[in-house]
Amino acid sequence: MQGKSGCGAIEVVYGDITKEHVDAIVNAANPELAGGGGVDGAIHKAAGPQLLEECKRLGGCLTGDAKTTGAYNLPCSWVIHAVGPVWRGGLANEDELLACAYRRALEEACRIGAESVAFPAISTGAYGFPAERAARIAVSTIRLFLEGRPEMRVRLVAFSKTSAHVLKQALEERQAEEGSWK
């Protein structure tokens, strides 16, 4: 979906983020940056063992923050490791921490000059964040960040048909709210 003039574009795609030919992919990492299951495991597996070596030198990453590494055997140039919150029922600042993880990942993308960035649905797997709520936060945070950055292209990569539907719905809702967004 194209952004209005002066705004970067956001689109939802269905697939495996490790196959994305973009400047940077975002990893839904843990605070130890130690690799793990889910998308984190898939990214480390596809990148090769050097990714974990580089991660170990970073000294971890706080929840809501993001750090960048090389991409090794992946078809992108960088991996931005963003740490989303574990869902604890909604009263532990999870919404703001999730927004913060998206924002920090986008700030990292700008810092390294990455114009195309692919995100997984951070925190919605093992971390248990409700998918619809997470999708609305992802879309609104990214949308705000892309204002005044027309060169940027963000791909929300859904790993299931259900996730793709939820993300598309959140994007359409946001578009409807803004009216003029085509």
| Length reported for the chain | 182
Instruction: Find the binder of ligand ADP among 17, 24, 139, 167 (CB under 6 A).
Output: 17
Binding mask 113-152 for ligand ADP (x = CB under 6 A): -------xxxxxxxx-------------------------
CB of 8 to ligand ADP, least distance (A): 21
Binding mask 75-114 for ligand ADP (x = CB under 6 A): ---------x------------------------------
Q: Which of 104, 96, 94 is nearest to 26 (CA)?
A: 104
Q: Which residues pair with 153 in a beta bridge?
A: 9, 116
- Asked whether position 42 contacts ligand ADP by CB under 6 A, the answer is yes
Long-range contacts, stretch 165-170, CB < 8 angstroms, 24+ apart = 166/131, 166/132, 166/135, 167/12, 167/121, 167/135, 167/138, 167/139, 168/12, 169/132, 169/135, 170/132, 170/135, 170/136, 170/138, 170/139
Instruction: Find the binder of ligand ADP among 2, 16, 34, 177 (CB under 6 A).
Output: 16
Residues with a catalytic annotation lie at: 40
Nearer to ligand ADP, 23 or 40 (CB): 40
- Asked whether position 13 contacts ligand ADP by CB under 6 A, the answer is no
CB of 73 to ligand ADP, least distance (A): 15
Side chain identity at residue 44, one-letter code: H
* 75/122 Cα distance (integer angstroms): 21
Nearer to ligand ADP, 48 or 113 (CB): 48
Q: Which residues of this chain interact with ligand ADP, rule CB under 6 A?
A: 16-18, 28, 38-40, 42, 84, 120-127, 157, 159, 163
